[in-house]
Structure 1
């Protein structure tokens, strides 16, 4: 129980500070100490469970939420900082660190830790956690996506791009990775378009190419070449359709996607519009793409069934 006693000693200064600031009463801090001791005792037993760590972390999150509400109500200034301003969040991080020493293979635990660090604005910590997680789990697309999202939140598109490209090298058959890569480039395209239009430099050829979606079309081409997959085409179609951008750019990107994957695109068109108009649009697409005679026969046979039903 030496570890439990050590942790108790580490709590004393922050609990004293909470009382001095009138955020918690002496009675409440005694209850906190008792509750934490029970959680710590559960963690040092021979076979601690992941749920024990998560319950402890959740308790600390609730305490921190209550502390912040009371500090706001009492209009307590956060400057200069004292130990209770950061100790509860630091304890949450510490609990996850201890949990991951035992459960390194648990991807969900890594993701929860990263999400917590992001929520608390611990940018450097997020970078360190994701680097460790990716080293252990290089074939988990969600980790690359989380890491890239964090970089984008801090206005670092080049770092986000590098992370997604690395994720694709490791997970080239992941529809999720390719969709997020296209989504990131769409976001970059739109942010540049708005900035350049504000600055009045939209007439330059390089700016025109970016605003017309040149980078995005290149990524779409790579995605379809790497993954001949109907689900990929469906998700990219939905992404482009819903993403806020000028309609002319949207139509250009959709047409490019359809030209790159005409068979999958034709099937999607008919599934969405199982009528004469849908079949006519799909037929025009595959004729222009010059698909093989076998693919043509298969598609037209499918469409006959769609229209009949």
Structure 2
């Protein structure tokens, strides 16, 4: 009886052209819907960005102060106390650049994990591509990064680095990092939508990633240590680490003395562009497909 009733409902829907409201559209149609909502994504991100620090007296200044304060603490611990600054001519610019660039990925990942779960009422009330939310949150972090990069440029100049045409390479490096961040944010957004515990585990995961990303030490110098010479694959893994790849690209673009430090170790950085492109494409294509496959499940329950 139940099967007969279900069949009649299906026939009734087909006869009148009715479709499931939360059904996943074809991939091409989904991409088209997402593009049509690009203005909504940007405006949503801008509103979020403006409201993030409204309750703080210093407001938007915190988006620059936070990574700067972190860099100060890391400089004291790793640069002064542990001496990981050996082999780096301009360790201040080296460290600050690493912290600023990694923060972009770290915050994108953290925001992506909350992008679906924190907007269930919106998802259940309106019909729109759910990927709009992770996209918007990464745009929020991009807007924050642009301000941070302006401050970083000043700090790099203050530390004695010259302004050079190499600085233009920061743009494609950050564009590739943006594409990568969108991809991993889509992955973590789907995971966070169904497993809320991921938000509790994420700080530990990103902190471990931080320590392995060459922010406090020169990866090229570490790979030459006697303890690692027997295991060259470890050095290869450290260099292929996506966070390290984007950090190194920005460093070699902004810090002239660092390019000299790498040359002293007979270590080139041209291959990093291939790593950066590969990570961006794999993360974005894989992440988008992974998120899209669960489009009709977000907001249920």
TM-score range, shorter chain: under 0.3
State the TM-score, normalizing by the size of structure 2: 0.27
Which structure has the larger Rg over C-alpha atoms?
A: 1
Which has the bigger relative contact order, CA under 8 A and spacing at least 6? Answer: 2
TM-score (norm 1): 0.26
